[in-house]
Amino acid sequence: MTLLHNGIPKATQELLGETISKGVKIGIVSGRPWYDMRTILAQHGVNFGRPFPSFLVYREKFILWVEDGKTRDEGEWNRLKMREMEALNHEILKRTPSWLAALKEAGLTHKIWNIFGDYGFEVFYSTPEEAEKARGILARLADGLPNAEVQRNYWGTNVVLASGNKGCALRHVADGLGIAPDEVLAIGDSLNDLSMLDGRCGLRSAAVGNADPVVKEAVLKNGGLVAENPGGEGVAEIIRKLVP
């Protein structure tokens, strides 16, 4: 979670609340399950939904609206993404043995691998370099697999839903609110944030100071801002500079 870097500063929490009070919607877009995000926020002193966050995107694709601590499911969108995920996982299951064999033949020894019904295939390695090598191999093997996207997040490599990445979900949130894409500011730090940050969905973008170098490069290429500060301090820096 981009906000997290030695905790979520109290000043950042206050700024998020002040900005929401002005009518701005501020949410969290994550690959984590939604209840994990709620727990993490509570551990860092955030009173969930009162008023932050305004919405959650979880598992990179599913949307929950949040108001006064209560959540509301984004109905048909979530059901559609689940149907698409089921179809993709059906194909992933058939290919997993050959994928794992190819990765092993390439000299890669994974720590753990999983297939999640709401997320897809993921395999973890000891270093980002190993994960990047695995990403390249899986991208080649999954080429032509309908609605599949191969991405890396630190030391994990994932085969996930192409129509359900973070950028697609955030664009759907904006459409539902009647907000133009260029009025949406996405802030990220990790490689699985790229679909929000690299301009493909028409969103404005920014990165915190501890973001992956590839992320910083994509944000700058998209005309965005890279903060000097990391984590929550970087988020606050960006909001002060870019949000009226």
DSSP notation for 25-78: --EEE-SS-HHHHHHHHHHTT--TTSSS-SEEEETTTEEEEEETTEEEE-HHHH
The fold of the 77-163 domain, in CATH, is Alpha-Beta Plaits (3.30.70)
**pLDDT at 157 (0 to 100):** 97
Whole-angstrom Cα distance, residue 214 to residue 237?
20
Q: What is the pLDDT of residue 244?
A: 78
Sign of CA dihedral 119, 125, 127, 131: negative
Domains 10-60+165-242 and 77-163 share a fold: no
Please tell me the distance from the alpha carbon of residue 187 to that of residue 198, in angstroms, as a whole number: 11
Q: Are 134 and 67 in contact (CB under 8 A)?
A: no
Reported pTM: 0.93
pLDDT of residue 3: 74
- The answer as to CATH 3.60.20.10 being correct for domain 10-60+165-242 is no
Tell me what pLDDT residue 7 has.
Answer: 75
Q: Which residues of the chain have pLDDT under 70?
A: 1, 5-6
Distance CA(157)–CA(147), nearest Å, equals 17
Tell me what pLDDT residue 106 has.
Answer: 97
In the chain, domain spans = 10-60+165-242, 77-163
In the numeric block, the tokens 């990220």 are attached to 188
